[in-house]
Amino acid sequence: GDGIPEHLLAGLNRPQREAVEHRGPALLIVAGAGSGKTRVLTHRVAGLLATREAWSSQILAITFTNKAAAEMRERVEHLVGEEARGMWIRTFHSACVRILRREAEEFGFKESFTIYDSGDVRALIKRLIKQRGADIQGLTPGSVSARISKLKNELHDVDSWARTVSLENPLDAAFLELWRDYDAELRRANAFDFDDLISQTVFLLRAFPRVAAQYRKRFRHILVDEYQDTNAAQYALIRELTKPVTRAELPELRGDLPGASLTVVGDSDQSIYAFRGADIRNITDFERDFHDARVIMLEQNYRSTQNILSAANAVIGNNFDRRAKNLWTDSGDGAKIIGFTGYSGHDEAQFVADEIVELTSGGSMSYSDVAVFYRTNAQTRALEEVLIRTAIPYKVIGGTKFYERAEIKDAMAYLITVANPDDALSLRRIMNVPKRGIGPATEAALQAHADEHRISLRDAMRRVDEIALGPKVAAAIKDLAALLDEFSARPEADPGEVLRELMSRSGYTDQLRRSPDPQDAARLENVEELVAVTREFRRQNPAATLLDFLTETSLVAAADELDDSGGQVSLMTLHTAKGLEFDAVFITGIEEELLPHRMAAQEPGGEAEERRLFYVGITRARQRLHLSLAMTRAQFGEVNPAAPSRYLEEIPAGLIDWRTPPSTMRAPSGQRAVGRWRDEPRESFVTGYRDSPKPLPKAPKKEFANMITEVRDNSAMVLEPGDRIRHKDFGEGRVQAVTGLDKKRVAEVLFDGAGRKRLLIKIAPIEKL
C-alpha cells in the first residue's frame, strides 16, 4: 500500500487504514453497523486507482442495491476523479446480466434475451401445469416457482437435482417434469428468470473455461459489500472469478496469474435475507476457503449517537449464537430516543408528520435528512395520506406510492367502472384482471362492436351475444358485465362492502391469496388496506356513496407533486434501508405481528432475523431516532387491536423518552397482550396522553377523522399570515406563513391547542374565521 495519497487515508482510524492499505489475496472485514465498512471499501477502490495499481476496468465492486452502487461510484469519483470511469460497480444481478449479454454468442444464446419477473414466471408455470393435466395434485404455480428459485439459488440444475431425489415420490417426480418443461420454455423464449442470471453465469463460466479465464484475467480486484447477504450461487460466482488463470487456459499470457484479490465486508448481525437463500455461513466459509485471508475488525461507530447505539446493542444482544461485538462511539449521548404510541396507524402517522415539521422548521435539517421505515408496504398508506395533507414532500424508495400501485389502481378501476359504467379506460384496465381469457383480440372485437353501434364498451359487453366469439370468452364477458351491473344498480351501497365483494367475486383476491409469492401477499395486504379505508370512510360519513368516496380519494391520490427544493422525506421498508443513513429516522409499527412479522415469526430462525431487521433500522439513525406503534392497526380489511413488539422491551427504559407510552407492555411468557387491550375500558388507551406535552386534538373514536372527509377543493381560498382559521380536527389557529402557488399552496398554522402544522390548503378541512 505504498504511495496511497494521504487524503485517502487521513480520515480513517487505525484498523480502517490498515484495511485500505492491506495488499494480499483476501481480506475480510467484519464489523458492526456504521463502523465504516462501506467507507473502507470505497477508499480501497480509490487507493487502487490513485496508485495506479489497477485500471478502473480491473475492478469489480459488488453492492446490494443499485442505489448503493450509484452512491459508491459518486464517492469514488469524488475521491479520484476521471480515473473511476469504466469501473464495474454493480449488483450481482446487473453484473451477471452484463456478462451474459456480452458473452451471449459465445455461450450459445441470443444477446437480446429477456428477463422474466415473478409474474411472468408464475404465468408460465401455470400454463405448464395446465398442459400436463389436472392430475398434478398439490402443485401450484407459486409453490413450484418458489421451489425452483430455491434450488437455483443453491446452484442445482434439473439434472443434478434429479440425481439427488428418489422419484418414487410422485410429487417430486411431477415437480421435476415441470421444472424440465419450464427451463425448456425459457430457453425457447430466449429468456432467463431472476435466479438464472446468477446460476447460469456460474454454469457458463464453468463450462467455458476460456471465457472464464478472460474475466479472471480482467478483474484483478473484487470487492463485495453486504457480504453477509450473499447466497450460495453468488458465493460460487465469486469463487469462479477469483481463481488463478493459467497459460493453459489463456495461451496469450506470459505466465500464470494469481487469482484476483478479494475484499469482502459484512456484519452477520445485519443478515436479513435468509428467505432469499442468503447464508451467514458464507462468512465462516470465507475464512476456510481463503485461508490466507486477513481479518480486520472495526469497532468504532461513526454514525450514531451513544443512545442510539446502546439501544441497538441491547436489542441485538438478545440474539444468541453470534460473535459479541463491542461497538462504541465518541460522539456523545445525543438526544434521547423518542417513543410514541398512537391510537391508530393514522394517529401514529400524524405524530411522524408533526415531528418532521418540528425537526425541519429550525433549518438545521432538511426533508432529505429524514427517513421513515416500516415492515410492510401496506403501512405506507396512512403515512402517505398524512404527509400529503401536511404538505411534506416524500418519495417511496424501492416502491411505489400507495395510490400508484398496480393493485390499488386495479381496485380503484373496479370501483370507477361500477360508479361510471361509461369509463372505458377503467373497464379496459380490469377487463382481463384477474385473467379471464379476454385477450387483446377480443377486446378489439368488443370495441369494434361498440363503435359500429355507437354504444359504450360496457354496452358492447352486455350485448356480447351479437358478436361472434368463442362460447368460453363470451361467457366470461357476460359474467363480468353482470357482476359490474349488479353493483352499478346499487349506488347507495356501502363502498367498503362493494369493494370487498367485487374483489372477492371477481377472483382478484383469490388469485393473490393462493399465490405463495411474498409480493402477492403484500399486494393482497394493500388491497385489504384499501377496503379498510373505504369502510372507515363510510363509518365517518354514514350517508356517503361510492361516488363521494371516489371523488375524495382521487383528490388525495392526485395531490400534485409538491415543491421539493428542500428535498424529500424517504419512505422505505426496513429491508430497503440496509446500508443507508439519515440524520433522523422513524421506525413505525413496532408491534407484534408486524415486527416480528407474523409470517417470519413462524419460521425457524425467523424471530432472530426479524430482530436483526430491527437492528438494521435502529442503526440507520445518526442523531434522532423515533420509535412508534399504534394500539389499533387496520389490516386485512379490518381494524384490530395491536400489541407492542417484544423487541421494544429489550431497549433499556432510560434510553427512550415516551411521549405516550404503550399502555401495557407485552405480557411475559408469550402471552399476548392483545386480549387484554380489547377488554380494557377505552379510557385506559388515553392514559399516556396526560403526560403529553401537547394536548391531543382528537378523541380516540375519531382516529380516522382526518383521513377522508367531504369533498372539497380549497385552491381558491385566500389566506394570509395573521388570519385566524378553524380546522376540522386541530381546532382554531393563526396562519403564520403561506408558501407555494396555486394548488400547491401550503399554510403554516400555529394552532391554539395542537401546535404547529403544515397544511396543503387545497385539501385541508379548514374555514376562515
Q: Which residues are catalytic?
A: 37-38, 225-226, 270, 620
> Which residue is it, cell 483476501?
26
228: contact with Mg ion by CB under 5 A: no
> Which residue is it, cell 380494557?
680
In angstroms, give the least distance from the CB of 581 to Mg ion: 9
In angstroms, give the least distance from the CB of 39 to Mg ion: 8
Give the C-alpha separation, 497 to 535, whole Å.
7
Chain residues 239-268 in contact with ligand ATP, contact rule CB under 6 A: 267
Q: What secondary structure, in 3-state letters, does 268-328 show? A: HHHCCCHHHCECCHHHHHHHHHCCCCEEEEECECCCCCHHHHHHHHHHHCCCCCCCCCCCE
622 forms beta bridges with none
Among residues 342 and 579, whose Cβ is nearest to ligand ATP?
579
Residue 267 touches which of ligand ATP, Mg ion, none (Cβ within 5-8 Å per kind): ligand ATP
Span from 31-39, 127-135, 436-444, 525-533 in contact with Mg ion (CB under 5 A): 31-39
Give the C-alpha separation, 538 to 346, whole Å.
16
In angstroms, give the least distance from the CB of 137 to Mg ion: 47
In angstroms, give the least distance from the CB of 612 to Mg ion: 15
Chain residues 548-607 in contact with ligand ATP, contact rule CB under 6 A: 579, 581
470: contact with ligand ATP by CB under 6 A: no
How many chain residues bind Mg ion (CB under 5 A)? 3
Residue 11 touches which of Mg ion, ligand ATP, none (Cβ within 5-8 Å per kind): ligand ATP
Chain residues 290-309 in contact with ligand ATP, contact rule CB under 6 A: 302-303
Residue 589 touches which of ligand ATP, Mg ion, none (Cβ within 5-8 Å per kind): none
Give the C-alpha separation, 366 to 404, whole Å.
26
Q: What secondary structure, in 3-state letters, does 721-742 show? A: CCCEEEECCCEEEEEEEEECCH
Chain residues 613-642 in contact with ligand ATP, contact rule CB under 6 A: 619
Residue 302 touches which of ligand ATP, Mg ion, none (Cβ within 5-8 Å per kind): ligand ATP
Side-chain-facing half-sphere of 155: CA atoms under 13 Å: 14
Provide CB contacts within 8 A for 178, sequence distance 6+: 125, 128, 129, 132, 136, 139, 144
Please name the amino acid found at residue 740.
Answer: G
In angstroms, give the least distance from the CB of 345 to ligand ATP: 28
Span from 8-16, 357-365, 467-475, 642-650 in contact with ligand ATP (CB under 6 A): 8-16
Among residues 622 and 762, whose Cβ is nearest to Mg ion?
622
Chain residues 643-682 in contact with ligand ATP, contact rule CB under 6 A: none
- Specify the DSSP element, H or E, that contains 768: strand 766-768
Give the C-alpha separation, 379 to 529, whole Å.
8
> Is residue 557 within 8 Å of residue 344, measured between CB atoms?
no
Q: Is 34 annotated as a binding residue?
A: yes
What does the DSSP 8-state code read for residue 355? Answer: H
Kindly report the backbone phi and psi dihedral angles of residue 276, in degrees, each rounded to the nearest multiple of 5, phi listed first.
-105, 15
Using CB under 6 A, which of 27, 35, 145, 342 touches ligand ATP?
Answer: 35
Give the C-alpha separation, 21 to 19, whole Å.
6
In angstroms, give the least distance from the CB of 38 to ligand ATP: 3
Using CB under 6 A, which of 1, 9, 13, 143 touches ligand ATP?
Answer: 13
Region of residue 52 (phi > 0: left; psi between -120 and 50: alpha; otherwise: beta):
left
Among residues 40 and 595, whose Cβ is nearest to Mg ion?
40
Among residues 76 and 550, whose Cβ is nearest to Mg ion?
76
Using CB under 6 A, which of 8, 20, 26, 36 touches ligand ATP?
Answer: 36
Residue 674 touches which of ligand ATP, Mg ion, none (Cβ within 5-8 Å per kind): none
> Which residue is it, cell 473455461?
209
Span from 9-17, 95-103, 349-357, 478-486 in contact with ligand ATP (CB under 6 A): 9-17
Q: Is 645 annotated as a binding residue?
A: no
In angstroms, give the least distance from the CB of 300 to ligand ATP: 7
Span from 11-19, 249-257, 385-393, 713-721 in contact with ligand ATP (CB under 6 A): 11-19
How many chain residues bind ligand ATP (CB under 6 A)? 19
Q: Long-range contacts made by residues 736-740, C-beta under 8 angstroms, separation at least 24?
A: 739/563, 740/391, 740/562, 740/563
Q: Is 368 annotated as a binding residue?
A: no
Using CB under 6 A, which of 30, 33, 241, 464 touches ligand ATP?
Answer: 33
Among residues 270 and 344, whose Cβ is nearest to ligand ATP?
270
Among residues 30 and 186, whose Cβ is nearest to ligand ATP?
30
Mark 172-201 with x for binding to Mg ion (rule: CB under 5 A) and - for no binding. ------------------------------
> Is residue 52 within 8 Å of residue 288, measured between CB atoms?
no
Which residue, 162, 244, 243, is CA-closest to 202? 243
Among residues 579 and 733, whose Cβ is nearest to ligand ATP?
579
Give the C-alpha separation, 273 to 280, whole Å.
10
Can you list the positions of beta strands (E) in 618-765?
Answer: 621-630, 632-635, 638-641, 656-660, 724-727, 731-739, 746-751, 755-760
Q: Is 38 annotated as a binding residue?
A: yes
Q: Is 36 annotated as a binding residue?
A: yes
Residue 35 touches which of Mg ion, ligand ATP, none (Cβ within 5-8 Å per kind): ligand ATP
Residue 275, judged by CB atoms within 10 A of its CB (0-12, 13-18, 19+), counts as middle
Residue nearest to Mg ion (CB): 38
245 forms beta bridges with 257
> Which residue is it, cell 465462516?
284
Side-chain-facing half-sphere of 509: CA atoms under 13 Å: 16
> Is residue 630 within 8 Å of residue 348, measured between CB atoms?
yes
Q: Is 35 annotated as a binding residue?
A: yes
Q: Is 32 annotated as a binding residue?
A: yes
Kindly report the backbone phi and psi dihedral angles of residue 35, in degrees, each rounded to the nearest multiple of 5, phi listed first.
-90, 0
Count of CB atoms situated within 10 Å of the CB of 469: 19
Using CB under 6 A, which of 1, 9, 12, 400 touches ligand ATP?
Answer: 12
- Specify the DSSP element, H or E, that contains 69: helix 66-80
Query: Angle 13-16-17 (CA atoms, 0-180°, nearest 5)?
Result: 80
In angstroms, give the least distance from the CB of 486 to ligand ATP: 54
Among residues 37 and 152, whose Cβ is nearest to Mg ion?
37
Using CB under 6 A, which of 5, 7, 11, 560 touches ligand ATP?
Answer: 11
Using CB under 6 A, which of 8, 15, 26, 34 touches ligand ATP?
Answer: 34
38: contact with Mg ion by CB under 5 A: yes
Span from 35-43, 349-357, 580-588, 710-718 in contact with Mg ion (CB under 5 A): 35-43
In angstroms, the Cα distances linking 585 to 314, 403, 591 are 18, 24, 17
Using CB under 5 A, which of 579, 589, 662, 697 touches Mg ion?
Answer: 579
Task: Give SS3 for 483.
Answer: helix
458: contact with ligand ATP by CB under 6 A: no
Using CB under 6 A, which of 16, 231, 313, 545 touches ligand ATP?
Answer: 16
Span from 493-501, 576-584, 638-646, 719-727 in contact with Mg ion (CB under 5 A): 576-584
Look up residue 252 and give its three cell numbers: 496469450
39: contact with ligand ATP by CB under 6 A: yes
Give residues in contact with Mg ion (CB under 5 A): 37-38, 579
Q: Which residues sit in the known binding site?
A: 31-38
Give residues in contact with ligand ATP (CB under 6 A): 11-13, 16, 31, 33-39, 267, 270, 302-303, 579, 581, 619
Q: Which residues sit in the known binding site for ATP?
A: 31-38
